[in-house]
Structure 1
Amino acid sequence: MTPITEVEGRRLALSNLDKVLYPATGTTKGEVLHYYAATAAAPLLAHLDDRPVSFLRYPDGPDGQRFFTKNPPPGTPDWVRTAEVRRHEGESSRQVLVQDLASLVWAANLVVEFHTTQWRTATPGIADRLVLDLDPGAPASIVECCTVGLWLRERLAADSLTAYGKTSGSKGLHLLVPLEPTPADRVSAYAKGLAVEAEKALPGLVVHRMTRSLRPGKVFVDFSQNAAAKTTATPYTLRATAEPAVSAPVTWDEIERCGTPADLVFLAGDMAARLERYGDLLGPLFDTALARPLPDPA
């Protein structure tokens, strides 16, 4: 019998709550739902607000089938809000907006990673944040990402931009920068310029091209997620990894002290204490007084 629960006046059928999704830790689907509903809901909903959501679904856990979807999944309740999003060549489709706790629990019951755009539905294609995805190629790890992240923080500061960090929840590090509203193509061009500069400054450590053969032992500075059509793992989302790892905001002190990959691994069970201690470390992204313009193109 499928349990029925009520969330903010919405009746939800929750399935397979005892199913183990993360065998490495024995974490069940019920525990995943509890993480989203009880621990991460407030900050996660703030980062999801008014941003079209794409889902990476892994209903049988990280070792099972995974599929990425931008369209509302079959059976999406009519009370879950959606938005029309323009695609290439004038085409458009609808995407889910996770605007409230009921929608969050409904989506979490599908077993998903949450991925969002750098822009809001009210201003499509106009970014209010810049993202740099630092992705290590083995044997490099998040330790090397932290070295690159510290260089990028100083370079961004030279342009009066302030960076905030979070783990990717997988192997890498994400840097996020609050911006005055800026067309996505301009943000992408600026981010690419930063990646090229980083490669010149740290040639043994950084690569700005995605070519796999260039990446072993180096950190790929992925600027492409600033494109209007691209998305990034939302802060506080769980990831489809061996353990229930979270894309967790981190302090610059933690980044500076990172000596082993384990130093920056945060699981669902770690997050309540971190939120109690720090609040939302990415809260400054919502403060429009902290948003700055990109420098004028050279």
Structure 2
Amino acid sequence: MTVCLDEDNDVRTVRTAPDFSQARSVIGLDAHPAQPKWAVNTVPHIDTTAVLDPEQRRLWRRYERGLRVVQVGEATRPLASGEYFQRQQVETMVEHLRQEYGNEFQTAISTSSVEPQLQEILTDAGVDNVVRRDATGEVESKKTMHYGEEKSRNDFADEGVGLVEGCVDPGDDHVVDLLAELDLDASPETVDVDGVQERAHGRGFEGPDAETAQEILASVRENHTAQAAGRYARNPDDPDSHATVFVRTDAMPTDFADVQVSGIEWTFTDAQRAIVEELGRPRPR
């Protein structure tokens, strides 16, 4: 058992890893965590080896499973708080996918903070029954999902086209606490703003083990993105089962994307959109 305390000796985390002392090996199915996360959840001295290299995994996913992943743009787009959610860009993306694929596209995955907005965008684009209420009156959705609930979910198994918007972010505390368990030292990078130290933009870390901190952060983001895209094409024994998933983040495992496209370069302003809509109206003869 490992217990992580803060500067006031308050308990931050308590971890009880299974006893692997008699195990010769541990197999992680469909897992992409960094080596430090393996170490805290198994044994500290564990060595990790990939069963398949990235290219083999990509070919298996593409040709055996039928899942095609398209990376849209090169931005990371962390959306844990929803602060950086670019609604107009997402609206444009959803509208384009609806025009291209019609009713074949009707599902999307993102963070819980922006899921309500994503539901509104899908509804405005013509997707039916995005949100409904269950018997208790609670809002539920069969057309959206959020990070944290995606594992082992098969709701989108038969969907042909999907969208994964942005990535999840575990926060600095998760990374720093994990470093403490490993007896490593790094802290969030800060900048001076009017004499006050604030978190630097870009989610960097500083200190002797800053690279390990960055590796932990990246692996959490990447693992959730891979799991989200993996909600599609979940019937590998069916030769007709296949899906194309558009992923708007670069936070994904190496060679996870089959294709990379530039994505949304710019969107209309409200005035520009009004002009285009007006020019597109049919005129009476």
Shorter-normalised TM range: under 0.3
Structure richer in strand, relative to its length = 1
Identify which of structures 1 and 2 has the higher relative contact order when contacts are C-alpha pairs closer than 8 Å and 6+ apart: 2
